[in-house]
Structures are given as structure tokens and as C-alpha cells.
């Protein structure tokens, strides 16, 4: 090493805790949860509800391309998993509002981070796709 040149050594990353060991068996619980929150409709619904409670019809109007059946099924799944609450107000016709639970609110930050990552990295991924598709087979 030359005189006057500082020596820089990067510490090795810590070993992952045993609970983070990756195997088919250990990833199954996370995969189940990621399938619920990772589908396109769940993410959109969580983001729509992050601004406050909405009625079913408001959600349907705001989420382009979702069918009434898919919205119903996705809301039921989110409710079952404790991410959304459903409140029925006994009026004529009945008013049904959906709102994020505390657990659902805690999902906003990771979903926002993932969305930002996707936005930031889309050009690189499109370039990689083009390069891949342009290769000789």
C-alpha cells in the first residue's frame, strides 16, 4: 500500500438470523401473505383506502378495470386477513364503507416503497427486456 493512502476495509455483512434461512418450508408462510398483499388489486385497494374510508361504489369508480366480482372477492380477502374493515350503516339502501385497519395502515409504507422502486427502476427493466428480446435465440 502506498504511503498516505488510507486503507479501507468493508466489514462483512452479518450472517442472517436462523429465522431468515431460505428454504421451501421456511418461505411458505411469507409466500402465503405475499400472495394476498402482492396481487394487483389488493395493492390498489390498500392505496385507495390509505386516504380514508370509501364506499364500494367509490372504490369501483377509482380502480380502473376491476370488475364488481373481483372487487368483492379482494375486499373479502383483505377483510379476512385483518387489513380492511367493512362497516354497514343501516340506511335505505344500506351504506357499506371500507377502511384500512391498523394492520392495513402499516402496509402503506412498504407498498409505497415498492411502488417507488418500480417507478425508479422501470426504465432499466424495460432496457433489460429489450436487450433480452433482441438476443439471438
pLDDT value at 6 more than 60: no
Annotate 46-66 with b (16+ C-beta within 10 A) or e (fewer).
bbbbeeeebebeebbeebeeb
CB atoms within 10 A of CB 78: 26
pLDDT at 102: 97
Flag whether 126 is in a domain.
yes
Tell me the average pLDDT across 5-20: 56
Question: If 0-12 CB within 10 Å is exposed, 13-18 middle and 19+ buried, where does residue 97 land?
Answer: middle
pLDDT value at 79 more than 70: yes
pLDDT at 106: 94
**Domains contained in the chain, number:** 1
Tell me the average pLDDT across 96-109: 95
Q: What is the pLDDT of residues 106-134, one digit of tens each?
A: 999 998 898 899 999 999 999 999 999 99
- How big is the chain, counted in residues? 137
How much is the pTM?
Answer: 0.71
Flag whether 19 is in a domain.
no
Flag whether 96 is in a domain.
yes
Q: What is the pLDDT of residues 14-63, one digit of tens each?
A: 655 555 566 777 777 777 777 777 788 999 999 999 999 999 999 999 99
72: containing domain: 28-134
CB atoms within 10 A of CB 107: 19
pLDDT at 13: 60
Flag whether 116 is in a domain.
yes
Cα separation of 34 and 98, whole Å?
Answer: 21
Q: What is the pLDDT of residues 65-77, one digit of tens each?
A: 999 999 999 999 9
Flag whether 111 is in a domain.
yes
Query: Where residue 79 sits, what CATH number does that domain have?
Result: 1.10.10.10
pLDDT at 31: 78
Cα separation of 39 and 130, whole Å?
Answer: 25
Amino acid at each position: 500500500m502506498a504511503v498516505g493512502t488510507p486503507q479501507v476495509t468493508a466489514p462483512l455483512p452479518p450472517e442472517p438470523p436462523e429465522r431468515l434461512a431460505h428454504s421451501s418450508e421456511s418461505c411458505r408462510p411469507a409466500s402465503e401473505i405475499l400472495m394476498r398483499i402482492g396481487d394487483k388489486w389488493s395493492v390498489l385497494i390498500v392505496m385507495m383506502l390509505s386516504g380514508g374510508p370509501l364506499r364500494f361504489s367509490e372504490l369501483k369508480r377509482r380502480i380502473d378495470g376491476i370488475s364488481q366480482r373481483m372487487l368483492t372477492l379482494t375486499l373479502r380477502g383483505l377483510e379476512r386477513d385483518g387489513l380492511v374493515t367493512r362497516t354497514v350503516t343501516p340506511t335505505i339502501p344500506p351504506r357499506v364503507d371500507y377502511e384500512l385497519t391498523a394492520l392495513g395502515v402499516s402496509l402503506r409504507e412498504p407498498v409505497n416503497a415498492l411502488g417507488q422502486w418500480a417507478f425508479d427502476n422501470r426504465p432499466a427493466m424495460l432496457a433489460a427486456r429489450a436487450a433480452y428480446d433482441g438476443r439471438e435465440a
